Amino acid sequence: MAIFEKRRLWLAVLAALALAFPLLVTNGYYLHMMTISFIWMIAVYGLNLFAGYTGYLSLAHAGFFAIGAYTLGILTVKVGVPFWLAFVSACLLTTLIGALVGLVALRTKEHFFAIYTLCVGYIIYLVIDKWDGLTGGVRGFIGIPAPADIGPLSFQTPVAQYYLLLFFLAAVVFIMYRLVYSLTGRTYIAIRNSEELALTLGISTMKNKLASFVLSVFFTSLAGALYASFIRFLGPDIAYVSVMFDFLTYLLVGGIGTLAGPVVGTLLVTFLSQQLQFLQDYRMLIFGPVLTLLIIFYPHGITGGFIRFKAKREEARCLKLEANRTVAELAASRQGRSERHVKEG
């Protein structure tokens, strides 16, 4: 009970800090970086659901991110669809494409699945890069509108967009929390731990893997649509493999298969890389080795390493209590035997 109370306290503190951030930080650059970090977090949560909890590494999520972004841009700019209708349509269309890809991709396993999805992601990049008439090609896609007003709520200012993205991030975290601690989440973890054992228990692994993949694509497409409405300019680079590996970096640093990992990893890597911008191309000489050492010594990420440290400390405390209890029982038993000997004597 005390653990849940402490967790709620930390969540309340983090929520208060997130809400007060625009009031505490007057620098518009940091507000922009935090807002864009929220978008990356949502995308990384999508990757974390499938890779961290189901055990399959998809390398096509940057492509799905780009499809969500470009679909929103095309529907609003070229077709003239109202913003929020285009927003929902972009997420649904990307999710449908993800379901079709998943039906084929999930017939493969392990590294074959990763290679297949990597090829899918690169094909998406080539389509965006070469289809000038639809996507603008290398010239990019401009003129994407900001989120439309909802009644009295306006999202035209940076602070308003910050709170809008914070709302979507909070919704994704809530869904992830409810999912992970549900029977469905336990099913995903069972598939991750041993797909063969899950099959023997009567779990429909294909159906559950497809559901996990589709939901992860939905989260990533949501991030893509939010990115398009926030940046308002798109280029084919957002579908490139480097973006996919940025997502993986955020996830591995924060902690794969943990709820807080995408937040911790994204914030740390984003702001660390920005602080090293003054080094220009040489910043990777510092950032690269630091990242390598972190992955070597903390293979479960910062959050995963912290959770394992707490678990080991709790286990050591329990063992110590058990040892003390055993010693006390032995001492009491020895004292009882001594008293019986005295009485018999």
| Secondary structure E strands in 207-308 | 233-234
Q: What is the pLDDT of residues 160-169, one digit of tens each?
A: 999 999 999 9
Q: What number is the average pLDDT over the span 274-291?
A: 70
Indicate left, alpha or beta for 82 from its phi (over 0: left) and psi (-120 to 50: alpha). Answer: beta
Q: Has this prediction a pTM greater than 0.85?
A: yes
Question: What pLDDT shows up at residue 242?
Answer: 85
- Cβ atoms of 86 and 294 within 8 Å: the answer is no
pLDDT of residue 6: 66
Looking at residue 108, its pLDDT comes to 87
Mean pLDDT, the chain, rounded, equals 86
Distance from C-alpha of 200 to C-alpha of 278, rounded to nearest angstrom: 56
Q: Which residues contact 54 (CB under 8 A, 6 or more apart)?
A: 188, 191, 192, 208, 209, 212, 213
Q: Are 214 and 7 in contact (CB under 8 A)?
A: no
Give 231 or 288, the one with higher predicted confidence: 231
**Half-sphere exposure (CA, 13 Å, Cβ side) for 278?**
1
pLDDT at 279: 65
How does pLDDT run across 66-80, given as a tens digit for each residue? 999 999 999 999 988
Model confidence at 1: pLDDT above 60? no
pLDDT in tens, 117-136: 999 999 999 999 998 888 88
Which residues, at least 6 apart from 279, have a Cβ–Cβ distance to it below 8 Å?
285, 286
Higher pLDDT, residue 304 or 229 = 229
pLDDT category at 149 given cuts 50, 70, 90 is confident
Distance (Å, whole) CA 88 – CA 225: 9
pLDDT score, position 98: 94
